């Protein structure tokens, strides 16, 4: 039990409450729009703790919610055949990037996290979706995977440029949700390996991550119910505006 609660004893009740509320909110966002759990978690927790600590906390809830997401839809084998080059380079880029850059390798990590969040928010708010031309997927997929891996290794954020790339493939809604779950699952696994190699994912960190699974799943269920009652477009716009503010704060102040 000490392993599970030791982290929270160290950070105190106020920061523990912030962690629990953050994962409740992050799970709710994911329930509404199908993504955002690690992005919200890294953005909010990055204001109060080192990015490596925040990244370690999201490993268990991110892994299980993404597995849940990719398990539904019936397109898994087809997506694996189509996306495996990108998935392979995501894994490779994250593991190698963790050894080269390392999310815990310096104070610059918080500024890098802020920059990644801001870029993703501006993309979501202002850049139109594009359709990838036939033939370009062969080389662009692995390139986007490698870049996503490097960004993940440096910031703990999985979305740039993987999400814009997946959105350019013309997938159906069900395929897109499953593809996101697949991409994020690979990123989470590779990030966990990278953090463990840096000594940032020991037994205490895993125990702390396991305990935030409950608020993340509760938020996910609430978000899925909320999705039926609100405008997904309006919610997504508010999400990106909030993300831009978070990113700007981290980028400027670290």
The DSSP line for 225-252 is HHTTTS-HHHHHHHHHHHHHHHHHHHHH
Which tops the pLDDT comparison, 102 or 28? 28
Judged by average pLDDT, the poorest of 23-27, 60-64, 65-69, 216-220 is 65-69
Average pLDDT over residues 33-47: 82
Supply the pLDDT for residue 101. 65
Supply the pLDDT for residue 48. 82
Q: How far, in Å, CA of 95 to CA of 103, rounded?
A: 11
pLDDT confidence band for 80 (50 / 70 / 90): very high
Average pLDDT over residues 74-98: 92
Which tops the pLDDT comparison, 162 or 10? 162
b vs e for 39-65, b when ≥16 Cβ sit within 10 Å of the residue's Cβ?
bbbbbbbbbebbbbbbbbbbbbbbbbb
Average pLDDT over residues 39-65: 86
Q: What is the pLDDT of residues 97-128, one digit of tens each?
A: 888 766 655 566 677 777 888 888 888 888 77
Answer for the pair 67, 185: CB distance below 8 angstroms, yes or no. Answer: yes
Q: What is the pLDDT of residues 202-239, one digit of tens each?
A: 788 888 899 999 999 999 889 888 877 877 777 778 88
Q: How far, in Å, CA of 203 to CA of 88, rounded?
A: 27
When the pLDDT of each residue in the chain is averaged and rounded to a whole number, the result is 84
Q: What is the pLDDT of residues 126-163, one digit of tens each?
A: 877 778 877 889 999 999 999 999 988 888 888 888 88
pLDDT confidence band for 60 (50 / 70 / 90): very high
Supply the pLDDT for residue 3. 55
């Amino acid at each position: 039990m000490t392993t599970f609660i030791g982290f929270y004893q160290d950070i105190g009740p106020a920061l523990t409450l912030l962690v629990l509320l953050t994962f409740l909110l992050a799970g709710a966002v994911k329930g509404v729009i199908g993504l955002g759990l690690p992005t919200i978690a890294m953005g909010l927790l990055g204001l109060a703790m080192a990015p490596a600590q925040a990244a370690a906390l999201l490993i268990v809830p991110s892994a299980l919610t993404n597995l849940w997401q990719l398990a539904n839809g019936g397109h898994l084998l087809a997506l694996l055949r189509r996306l495996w080059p990108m998935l392979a380079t995501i894994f490779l880029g994250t593991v190698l990037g963790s050894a080269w850059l390392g999310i815990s390798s310096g104070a610059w990590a918080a500024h890098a996290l802020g920059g990644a969040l801001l870029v993703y928010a501006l993309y979501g708010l202002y850049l139109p979706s594009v359709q990838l031309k036939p033939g370009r997927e062969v080389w662009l997929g692995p390139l986007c995977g490698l870049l996503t891996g490097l960004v993940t290794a440096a910031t703990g954020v999985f979305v740039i440029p993987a999400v814009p790339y997946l959105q350019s493939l013309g997938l159906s809604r069900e395929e897109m949700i499953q593809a996101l779950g697949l991409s994020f699952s690979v990123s989470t696994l590779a990030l966990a390996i990278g953090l463990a190699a840096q000594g940032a994912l020991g037994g205490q960190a895993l125990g702390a991550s396991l305990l935030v699974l409950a608020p993340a799943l509760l938020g996910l269920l609430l978000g899925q119910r909320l999705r039926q009652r609100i405008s997904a477009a309006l919610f997504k716009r508010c999400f990106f505006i909030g993300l831009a503010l978070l990113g700007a704060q981290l980028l400027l102040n670290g």
